[in-house]
Amino acid sequence: MNAPGSISPQAASPGMPEKQAPPARLKVEQASYAYSATDRDAPLFALGPASFEVRPRELVAILGPNASGKSTLLRLLAGVLPPLSGRVQIEGVEASQLEPRARAQRVALVQQESALLFPLRVWEYVLQGRYPYGRRLRFESQEDCVMAGNALAQVGAEHLRDRWMDQLSGGEKQRVILARALAQQPLLLLLDEPTQHLDIGGKVELLRRLRRLADENRYAVVVVTHELNLAAEFSDQVVLLHRGKCLRVGPPADVYTRELLEPVFETSLEVEISSRGRPRVILRGNPEADSAGLDDSSVPEPS
Amino acid sequence: MQPLTIRRIVLTCAVLAAVLFAVSVISLKLGAYPMSARDVVLTLVRRAIGHTDAIPSDFRLVIFGLRLPRIALGILVGVALSVSGAGFQALLRNPLADPYVLGVSSGAALGAILSLVFTPHVPLAMQGAAFLGAAATIAAVYFLGRRGGQLDSATLLLAGILSASFLSAIIMFLMTTLSGRDLRGMAFWLMGDLSTAPPDWNLLGSLYVVLLAAVGAIYTTSSDLNLILTGEQEARHLGVNVGRVKLVVYVSASLLTGLAVSVSGSIGYVGLIVPHVMRMLFGSDYRILIPTTALGGAIAIVAADTLARTVVAPTELPVGAMTALAGAPVFIYLLRRRLP
CB pair distance less than 8 Å for A116 and B229: yes
Has residue A285 got a pLDDT over 50?
yes
At A41, the pLDDT band (50, 70, 90 cuts) reads: low
Tell me which chain A residues have a C-beta less than 8 angstroms from the C-beta of B237: 78, 80, 104, 107-109, 111
Dump pLDDT digits (tens) for A224-279. 999 999 999 999 999 999 998 999 999 999 999 999 999 999 889 899 998 888 99
Dump pLDDT digits (tens) for B95-134. 888 999 899 999 999 999 898 888 888 878 888 999 999 9
Dump pLDDT digits (tens) for B165-217. 999 999 888 888 876 656 667 777 888 888 876 778 888 899 999 999 999 99
Rounded CA separation B206/B97 (Å): 28
Has residue A155 got a pLDDT over 60?
yes
Instruction: Provide the residue ranges of all domains of chain B, joining segments of one domain with +.
Output: 23-334
Give Cβ neighbours of residue B289 (< 8 Å, ≥ 6 apart). B86, B222, B275, B278, B279, B282, B283
* Cβ pair A82, A257 in contact under 8 A: no
What's the mean per-residue pLDDT of chain A?
A: 84
DSSP A95: G
Rounded CA separation B277/B78 (Å): 14
Residue A2 is predicted with a pLDDT of: 44
Dump pLDDT digits (tens) for B31-80. 878 888 888 888 989 988 888 888 888 888 888 888 899 999 999 999 99
Tell me which chain B residues have a C-beta less than 8 angstroms from the C-beta of A144: 3
CB pair distance less than 8 Å for A145 and B1: yes
- Across the interface, of A111, A149, A161, the residue whose CB is closest to B233 is A111
Q: Which of the pair, B270 or A292, is modelled with greater confidence?
A: B270
Please count the other Cβ atoms lying within 10 Å of the Cβ belonging to residue A38.
Answer: 7
Residue B197 is predicted with a pLDDT of: 66
- Across the interface, of B3, B5, B230, the residue whose CB is closest to A116 is B230
Residue A55 is predicted with a pLDDT of: 93
- Across the interface, of A41, A132, A162, the residue whose CB is closest to B238 is A132
Residue B141 is predicted with a pLDDT of: 92
Residue B203 is predicted with a pLDDT of: 86
Please count the other Cβ atoms lying within 10 Å of the Cβ belonging to residue A21.
Answer: 10
Is the complex ipTM more than 0.90?
no
> What's domain B23-334's architecture?
Orthogonal Bundle (1.10)
Q: Which of the pair, A298 or A76, is modelled with greater confidence?
A: A76
Q: Of the given ranges (A194-198, A258-262, B322-326, B335-339), which has the lowest mean pLDDT? A: B335-339
Q: What is the mean pLDDT of residues A160-165?
A: 91
Rounded CA separation B103/B261 (Å): 12
- Residue B217 has φ and ψ, to the nearest 5°, of -65, -45
- Residue A235 has φ and ψ, to the nearest 5°, of -95, 160
Dump pLDDT digits (tens) for B216-273. 999 999 999 999 998 888 899 999 999 999 999 999 999 999 999 988 988 989 999 9
Dump pLDDT digits (tens) for A191-219. 999 888 888 988 999 999 999 999 988 89
Give the residue numbers in A contacting B (CB under 8 Å), as ranges.
Answer: 41, 78, 80, 100-105, 107-109, 111, 113-114, 116-120, 123-125, 127-129, 131-132, 134, 136-140, 144-145, 148-149, 161-162, 184
